[in-house]
Amino acid sequence: MAALGVLLVATIVADLLLATRLRRGAGREWALVACGALTLGLITFFGRVFPANRQTENWTVQ
């Protein structure tokens, strides 16, 4: 599962690199939007979802 986290971070870095390479193109804005969406998704997950899952022990019966 950790490999998926690495993949998300690599995607964010790739989007930032794409945005810097496209300096003045319509694609630059979309690359920045994609980077922002992925970043906000990770912030939401680690800020809200992950702590709630830890507190509720992922809603599993033990």
Reported pTM: 0.76
Instruction: Say how far apart CA 38 and CA 28 lie, in whole Å.
Output: 16
pLDDT band at 61 (very low <50, low <70, confident <90, very high): low
Overall number of domains in the chain: 1
Judge whether residue 58 has pLDDT over 80.
no
Instruction: Write the pLDDT tens digit of every residue in 5-34.
Output: 899 999 999 999 999 998 877 789 999 999
Instruction: Say how far apart CA 43 and CA 46 lie, in whole Å.
Output: 5
Q: Which of 33, 26, 1, 3 lies closest to 12 in space, CA to CA?
A: 33
Predicted local distance difference test score (pLDDT) of residue 52: 87
Instruction: Write the pLDDT tens digit of every residue in 27-53.
Output: 899 999 999 999 999 999 999 988 988
> Residue 22 sits in which domain range?
2-59
